[in-house]
């Protein structure tokens, strides 16, 4: 069932509770788009005169529905905020922002003032603990190379003026104080 028929896209029902925005197919080349531009949902908002440093462009809500007093009740469990906002670094320069705000528990309309994640072109801020993410220094140098089994490590260094690799037996430990130097690799200059 078609909901909206655009020149190069169609918004339509794909199942009993799903809709899709699909590119139309070319009339002359089956399997190719009729117009080589991605389909898009666009949100637009006028910038208010009074609050140019913080305003919403769009919001996509996650509502938990329940029935109370014979009526459907919505409890906002979270939302995706698409906005212009200055709060990422408070430098007085607002930037486009995507933020995810979530309540502590589903089915309640707890205040969702604090974003769980804020993403801008300047930085990403997590306001909750992050698990499984490994931080990488802005400039990192890899000097240690481990064998497949992790029993040996070569640490390349140039503190003597010439490149050399010290081979350590790690005994499977990441604690370097437990490692034993067992060899040295030297590279002769060309």
Report how far apart, in Å, the C-alpha atoms of 155 and of each of 85, 165, 169, 176 are.
46, 5, 11, 11
Q: What Rg do the C-alpha atoms of the chain give, in angstroms?
A: 28
Q: What pLDDT score does 108 carry? A: 60
- What's the rounded Cα separation, in Å, for the pair 138 and 126? 18
Q: What pLDDT score does 106 carry? A: 65
Is 103:110 a contact under the CB 8 Å cutoff?
yes
- Over residues 88-121, the pLDDT tens digits come to 777 778 889 999 998 877 656 555 667 889 899 8
Tokens 């040996």 belong to which residue? 152
- Closest Cα partner for 68 from 120, 40, 107? 107
**Would the CA dihedral through 18, 23, 25, 29 be positive or negative?**
negative
Q: What pLDDT score does 70 carry? A: 94
Tokens 């260094």 belong to which residue? 157
Residue 9: CB atoms within 10 A of its CB come to: 20
Domain ranges of the chain: 1-41, 54-126, 144-186
Q: What pLDDT score does 135 carry? A: 62
Q: What pLDDT score does 162 carry? A: 77
**Who contacts 186 (Cβ-Cβ below 8 Å, separation ≥6)?**
162, 163, 164, 165
Is 153:143 a contact under the CB 8 Å cutoff?
no
- Closest Cα partner for 52 from 81, 82, 86? 86
Q: pLDDT means per 10 residues in the chain (190 residues)?
A: 90 94 94 93 90 87 92 91 82 87 71 78 84 65 80 84 86 84 81
């Amino acid at each position: 069932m078609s909901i909206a028929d655009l020149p190069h896209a169609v918004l339509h029902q794909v199942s009993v509770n799903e809709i899709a925005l699909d590119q139309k197919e070319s009339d002359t080349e089956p399997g190719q788009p009729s117009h080589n531009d991605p389909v898009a949902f666009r949100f637009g908002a006028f910038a208010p005169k009074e609050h140019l440093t913080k305003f919403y462009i769009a919001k996509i809500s996650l509502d938990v529905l329940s029935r109370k007093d014979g009526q459907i009740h919505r409890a906002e469990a979270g939302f995706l905020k698409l906005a212009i906002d200055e709060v990422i670094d408070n430098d007085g320069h607002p930037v486009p922002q995507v933020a995810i705000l979530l309540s502590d528990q589903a089915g309640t309309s707890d205040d969702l003032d604090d974003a769980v994640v804020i993403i801008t072109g300047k930085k990403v801020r997590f306001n909750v603990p992050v698990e499984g993410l490994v931080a990488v220094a802005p400039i990192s140098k890899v000097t240690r190379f481990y064998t497949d089994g992790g029993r040996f490590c070569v640490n390349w260094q140039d503190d003597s003026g010439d490149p050399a690799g010290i081979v350590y037996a790690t005994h499977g430990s990441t604690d370097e104080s437990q490692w034993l130097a067992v060899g040295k690799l030297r590279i002769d200059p060309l």
